[in-house]
Chains A and B, each alone.
Chain A
Amino acid sequence: MSEIARDAGMPGATGEFARTLRGFRLQSRVLQALLLREMQTRFGRNQLGFLWLFLEPLMLAGAIATIKWVLDAHHYPGIPVFVFALAGYLPYFTFRAIISRAPGTLHANMTLLYHSQIKLLDVVLARHMLELGAIITVMSFIVGGVALWAEMPPNSIPVLLLGLLLLFLYAHGLGLLAAAAAAASEVAERLIHPLVYLSLPVSGALFPLHSLPPSLREIMLWNPQASMHEMVREGFFGNLLPSYFDVPYTAFCVAVVNLLGLAALRAVRPRLEF
């Protein structure tokens, strides 16, 4: 219920609340329908398509882990290189997938906006939720697999999940910004891909902050993404590898990016041309 309506004792007060509730119900209905449709169009109706959702990031992360293992780049005692690489790259792949697909999401779904029930945000949200579902599922398989075969149960599932969730929300906010930027200017659209690639070295996905000198580590912690990857590693490895992260600062950055993303999407909506 809105403050003003309650203070004024207006009869519309409960109406306002009911309206908000109706809005929520409508949005969740739309999101469910969009999720179903997204799965149908993306994976077709055969099972292999659905399996691909998990196989794709697993294969990519597996390939990179193998290269690192062959090159014997870094080694942390008690942590298999393969598992270390998976824990870093897998969340990063999802992060990158969300942001680089965001501009295309708008182009591909313009026809949906003809239905006034469907808002621009719903379209983006549905796709991102699918990515979140994918990463959580893939992660649970990996955590399960590592626990079984390497006999290394995760140190803390809540920390692991919190790290993933923050990373997802961060990618979601950046994805909203990317979608809005791409809709507003072609130059911005072309810049998104290289920017995402260039950000890989400073993302904190490749190496633990523990391997950096303290002065550099302090600088890296200004990047909220580095904190998130550290949290994922902390959840995985615990005391085997010291981690450095700042949850309040990271959460604050996530909130700012999301608010900016929502505002940008709202600003760009009236300018969309069909």
Chain B
Amino acid sequence: MILLDGVSKFYHLRGQGRRWILRDTTAVIRPGDRLGILGRNGAGKSTLMRLLGGVEYPSIGRVERRMSVSWPLAHGIGVHSSLTGADNARFIARIYDLDPDELVDAVNDFAELGTYMDMPVSTYSAGMMSRLLLGLSLSMDFDCYLIDEATSVGDQRFIERTQHILETTLRSRALVMVTHSTAHIRSFCRSAAILHDSHLTFFEDLDEAIATYEAL
């Protein structure tokens, strides 16, 4: 599980004090949870994902990760733009102690990038980028996947494939997903939280969460 224990996060603004992203938040993400995070632009959803992934550190409190967590999957994050898709896959495989060729094959199968696997990632469209990122991480065995808008630009076929994997091979894994698409929240998540004014409010009922979010 991931435990947020009295976590606060703020950034220093130039000469204007602090901008608070989170205030004294305590929360638990358990194995198998499927949590959608909703919030307006700039509310701090991506920062929250980085806190969960251990990329950024809380200003106050602590984040404890007792399961393996993927890196936050967001456009262009965790890959090197001047390297090809295949080189990125090999690099990530080496870091996580996997077989490089196996990972390249697995990504190829899932992302269907074809010849683009051998093109620099900087030439990828947003959709191709998200296919590469999800292909990479879903081919690896994490206990919890953090998806930060990576599904938002996918086409129907790709969304269905992602959903299928998460409901079959990876059905016991946890998922934390940031998206503005209420349709994706409904199809991927079982509970939701809204990040607003540096407070994270949890909802067991998706309809209630979505109604609250739309009323913000």
Residues of A within 8 A of B (CB): 26, 29-30, 32-33, 36-37, 40-41, 111-118, 269-270, 272-274
Contact = CB atoms under 8 A, between A and B. Distances in A.
A115 B71 contact: yes
A33 B95 contact: yes
B49 to A, nearest CB: 10
Chain B CB within 10 Å, residue with most, of A32, A37, A113: A37
B78 A111 contact: yes
Contacts of B79: 111
Nearest to A116: B54
B95 A30 contact: yes
Interface stretch (B86-94, B101-109, B151-159): B86-94
A104 to B, nearest CB: 15
B72 interface: yes
Contact of B53 (A36, A40, A116, A269): A116
B119 interface: no
B55 A117 contact: no
Interface residues of B, number: 24
Nearest to B47: A274
Contact of B50 (A30, A37, A274): A274
18 contacts: A29-B95, A30-B95, A37-B87, A37-B91, A40-B87, A41-B83, A111-B77, A111-B80, A112-B78, A113-B55, A114-B50, A114-B53, A114-B71, A115-B95, A116-B53, A117-B96, A272-B56, A274-B55
Nearest to B74: A114
Nearest to A41: B82
Contacts of B95: 29-30, 33, 115, 117-118
Given A40-B87, A111-B78, 4 more contacts: A26-B97, A29-B95, A111-B76, A115-B78
Contacts of A29: 94-95, 97
B55 A116 contact: yes
A29 B72 CA distance: 22
A273 B80 CA distance: 19
A48 B92 CA distance: 26
B168 to A, nearest CB: 26
Interface in B60-79: 69, 71-72, 76-79
A268 to B, nearest CB: 11
A40 B202 CA distance: 45
Contacts of B69: 116
B56 A33 contact: no
B20 interface: no
Contact of A269 (B50, B57, B71, B76): B57
B94 A114 contact: no
A200 B97 CA distance: 43
Contacts of B77: 111, 114
A114 B80 contact: no
Contacts of B96: 115, 117
A37 B91 CA distance: 7
A255 B54 CA distance: 30
A270 B78 contact: no
A30 B57 CA distance: 22
A10 to B, nearest CB: 22
Nearest to A32: B94
Given A111-B77, A111-B79, A114-B77, A274 B94 contact: no
B80 to A, nearest CB: 6
Contacts of A32: 94
A114 B75 CA distance: 12
B94 A36 contact: yes
Contacts of A41: 80, 82-83
Contacts of B91: 33, 36-37
B159 to A, nearest CB: 23
A262 to B, nearest CB: 18
